[in-house]
Structure 1
């Protein structure tokens, strides 16, 4: 997950209000329920010590969602009476919650907005093709392809002229399949889509797939159900889920390999809070790896005003010359450091529990920029 969108949260000091709300339920009583949620979140923040202006800003922002049709949920991060960031979520949170803390509570975003593959769904038939761009939150048209207007239906006649007609039909279809493949390749480049999902009859899907450039081979999926099927949405979601899982598997394999020390006893990966704190101070985190259920994620560390001012013990910060310090969760403190140095973060949540059990140690690890 690219963390660059979190930069506004670290341009100002805390404390911060962090709120996650579920907007996936849509009934006649939803507006009133969301009004009650807005009041409850504001009360909870006040109970934890948040200032009145920030509580009011959160309540007002949540009130504006009373009639929202957002399919999953919203996160809000506020301080000093202002909502600084309010990203939409790619999946619903496990209940509404609000926290008041020195750092914004961002680690849940790794699961709730993290890996959200963008797909180009290509609806292919013998008369034309249309593209649709999909993510967890949106879908929109992404262009069409007008194909050569030769007849495209074969006949069963054995007459020579009919066979000649059929050959022309085959040539027309081959041309059209090449046209759609070229257009789909351009669409992928322009949208930077993670997946291309082909929808249509078996032969049409296969013909287009065979003409796509080799660089896209690993991104192409053929949907088993057609455009008119109510199961197509499930096909697309399954392809997106599988893509996330495979990418996470590959990243975990890289981390596992990097744990092995080289001939000089140095490893290209670190795990455990003390090692990660040291790597963060030295700006050596290349990719932060988080197992959300790990016990170290909520371990207390100490932070200063700057992202690289963090330590396992408060006295360590004083030794480093930092006069002001606050206790914070290890995962949120490490994410702040990762944002400052442009490092992405990886959540292992998409993996089966047996695959990610106890890796990384304590639930926090990192691939390093140098050994």
Structure 2
């Protein structure tokens, strides 16, 4: 996972309040429950030194996204009386959390985004298609396109002789022209979000013709779904359900591939595990992919420089300027170093897969 979305959060030099909260609205008395749980987190932040202006900014922001059905969560970051960023999470965090630190604490946000992929959904019929593009950090489409080509003679007619052949040929030509128009929309949608997958549902003949007009790079990421289309609300709902199931499978496969590589590289020295060794690899800009578990029970604390993100260590005296160092949760400070050294991220499915639930795949190795 690319961690670039976090980079703007590190521009402030002031302390930051980081909040992760279950904001599911699809339950009875949800707004009241959210307000009560936020009050507890607010008191914790105040006890840790958060200023009233920042807390009031969070008061105004907390509450969840009204248009999101089912479970959801919220990740908020605030400093100096203003909201730095607010994100809707696809599922609630494992538990409500709030921290007041010299830097952001974004693990819940990163874990949520790591369970998503940029993708395109195509609901196709013989007249055209609806094409929606989704980025990994948004629940609503980044772009929406709807192509409806010519409908003249789109249904083959039952006639004989010359007329029969003429209408058959004309219908085939129209289907083909419509498919070509849809293919242009699909390729544009893929470019909009850098899609890793294209889910297509609807009329089988229309999908077949669409495939004929897609370039190889897009064709390679097409996943045909057995249900859904754009004929009516039920068809669209069925398509959405199929997309959600297919996304879960795709994300699980992606995580499995990263874990397989980590395990393999660990055996031959191309990866490290444990907080101390991972911090050392980040200090050397060796890390290609940072791996963390998201349970965060009894999370270790590490030391870091307030000015140099790569200055992070389990031992304070190893830093260039130990007197100015501050301590914080390992995940927050390791993620900061990863973001600002252009490393990626992957979630460890459980802490037992690496010492202290922490590891890294390396870009390169160095002699001891």
TM-score range, shorter chain: 0.7 to 0.9
| One of 258, 261, 264 as aligned partner of 1:254 | 261
SS at match of 1:108: helix
Deviation at 1:14, TM superposition (A): 5.5
**1:259 alignment partner, SS class:** helix
Offset at residue 237 of structure 1 (A): 0.8
Query: Secondary structure at 1:342's aligned position in 2?
Result: coil
* Distance in 1, Cα, partners of 2:178 & 2:148: 9
Quote the residue 1:119 is aligned against: 119
CA distance in 2, matches of 1:368, 1:36: 44
Gaps of 5+ in 2: none
2:233 pairs with 1:239: no
CA contact (8 A) 1:294 1:364 kept: no
After TM superposition, the structure 1 = structure 2 runs for residues 72-91 of structure 1, keeping only pairs within 5 Å, are 72-91=72-91
> Which residue pairs with 1:212 in the alignment?
214
Report if aligned partners of 1:56, 1:81 keep a CA contact under 8 Å in 2. yes
2:54 is matched with 54
Cα distance per residue 1:71-98 (max 9 Å; x no partner): 5232122334443332222322234332
Matched-pair contact (CA < 8 Å) for 1:19–1:77: yes
Aligned residues of 1:35 and 1:66 also touching (Cα < 8 A): no
**Aligned partners of 1:361, 1:217: CA distance in 2, in Å?**
40
How far apart are the structure 1 equivalents of 2:277 and 2:22? Answer: 36
What's the TM-score once normalised by structure 1's chain length? 0.84
CA contact (8 A) 1:309 1:322 kept: no
Give the Cα–Cα distance (whole angstroms) in 2 for the partners of residues 100 and 7 of structure 1.
18
How many corresponding residue pairs?
355
Match of 1:333 in 2: 333
Residues 32 and 66, structure 1, Cα contact 8 Å, conserved in 2:
no
Distance 1:190 1:42, change over 3 A: closer
Deviation, structure 1 residue 150 = 4.2
What does 1:1-371 correspond to in 2, within 5 Å? 1-13=1-13, 15-26=15-26, 29-62=29-62, 65=63, 68-70=66-68, 72-134=72-134, 137-139=139-141, 142-157=144-159, 159-227=161-229, 228=232, 229=234, 230-261=237-268, 267-293=269-295, 298-305=299-306, 306-317=308-319, 320-349=320-349, 358-371=352-365
Question: 1:257/1:204 Cα in 2 relative to 1: closer, same or farther (>3 Å)?
Answer: same
- Rounded to whole Å, the distance in 2 between the matches of 1:220 and 1:48 is 50
Q: Structure 1 residue 115: deviation in Å?
A: 3.8
Maintained 8 Å contact 1:74/1:87:
yes
User: Which deviates the most, 134-143 or 89-98?
Assistant: 134-143
Partner-residue secondary structure (3-state), 2:189? helix
Shift of 1:232: 2.2
What are the Cα deviations for residues 291-324 of structure 1, in whole angstroms up to 9, with x where unaligned? 32477x821222221212222222333xx33322
| Alpha-carbon shift at residue 6 of structure 1 (Å) | 2.0
Q: CA RMSD in A?
A: 2.9
Q: Distance in 2 between matches of 1:10 and 1:85?
A: 11
State whether residues 24 and 64 of structure 2, in contact with CA within 8 Å, keep that contact through their aligned partners in structure 1: no
- The superposition leaves residues 84-116 of structure 1 with CA deviations (integer Å, 9 ceiling, x where unpaired) of 332222322234332234443211122223343
Matches of 1:22 and 1:249, distance apart in 2 = 27
Alpha-carbon distance in 1 for matches of 2:190, 2:274: 39
How many Å apart are 1:281 and its aligned residue? 1.2
Alpha-carbon contact 1:122-1:131 (below 8 Å) kept:
yes
1:21 to partner: Cα distance = 1.9
| 1:206-259 superposed Cα distances (whole Å, 9 cap, x missing partner) | 332243222123321222222332322211111222222222222223323322
CA distance in 2, matches of 1:151, 1:210: 21
